[in-house]
Chain A
Amino acid sequence: ILNVEQSPQSLHVQEGDSTNFTCSFPSSNFYALHWYRWETAKSPEALFVMTLNGDEKKKGRISATLNTKEGYSYLYIKGSQPEDSATYLCAPGDSNSGYALNFGKGTSLLVTP
């Protein structure tokens, strides 16, 4: 099971600010990288699944990049809104762990008006 690090642990920004967080993972045997958003009182929901080095995915104001050679992914939120407040989780999958997804502890984002 991969060791996953997410930073920062928490983040507090003002509405309209842009922000980004990092997910670091061992680069060997990498297969895929997932990002999930977990809002309070709801279930985690998938944002992106990325597999290729240099991949960039976008969903509205949220985008993510992937560097499999150095083992990191960035998640960007442009013009943060209060509804973006959530915990953002990443989970890499690798062939050695039988493709199980092991999550990082997440970045908790609070966006205030």
Chain B
Amino acid sequence: KAGVTQTPRYLIKTRGQQVTLSCSPISGHRSVSWYQQTPGQGLQFLFEYFSETQRNKGNFPGRFSGRQFSNSRSEMNVSTLELGDSALYLCASRQGTASNEKLFFGSGTQLSVL
């Protein structure tokens, strides 16, 4: 069974640009969550999608958005990039959204904003 796949692996952008990251969950998993990892901040929750609907959203500005498709693949978009958006973005999938279901993480997309 293939794991969670994130593309691209690395990305370099400049301030003001926008970026779209992609996440393909494990087959059969309908929930996809996105996290941002910056030095000293730990994994910060961005949002979670289930069956094409956003279920939860973390404390991030509206420049961060996402969506989920009918095949459970998810994309995350960041508009008007700022230097502080440089981070590792991880997505994770699970079958449902119950708190006792463990997350399976992808390898992440390392975004650098210059």
Contacts and interface: CB of A to CB of B under 8 A. Distances in A.
Interface of A: 1, 31-32, 34, 36, 42-46, 49, 51, 89, 91, 93-95, 97-106
Interface in B1-60: 4, 33, 35, 40-45, 48, 55-56, 58-59
B86 interface: no
Contacts, number: 71
Contacts of B4: 43
Contacts of B48: 98, 100
A102 B45 contact: yes
B59 A99 contact: no
B99 A31 contact: yes
Interface of B: 4, 33, 35, 40-45, 48, 55-56, 58-59, 90, 92, 97-108
B8 to A, nearest CB: 16
Nearest to A95: B99
A contact patch SS: loop
A92 to B, nearest CB: 8
B98 A103 contact: no
Given A100-B55, A106-B42, A32 B105 contact: no
B45 A100 contact: yes
22 contacts: A31-B100, A43-B4, A43-B105, A43-B108, A44-B103, A45-B105, A46-B103, A49-B101, A51-B100, A89-B43, A98-B55, A98-B97, A99-B97, A100-B45, A100-B56, A100-B58, A101-B45, A102-B45, A102-B58, A103-B35, A104-B42, A105-B40
A37 B56 CA distance: 24
Contacts of A31: 99-100
Nearest to A46: B102
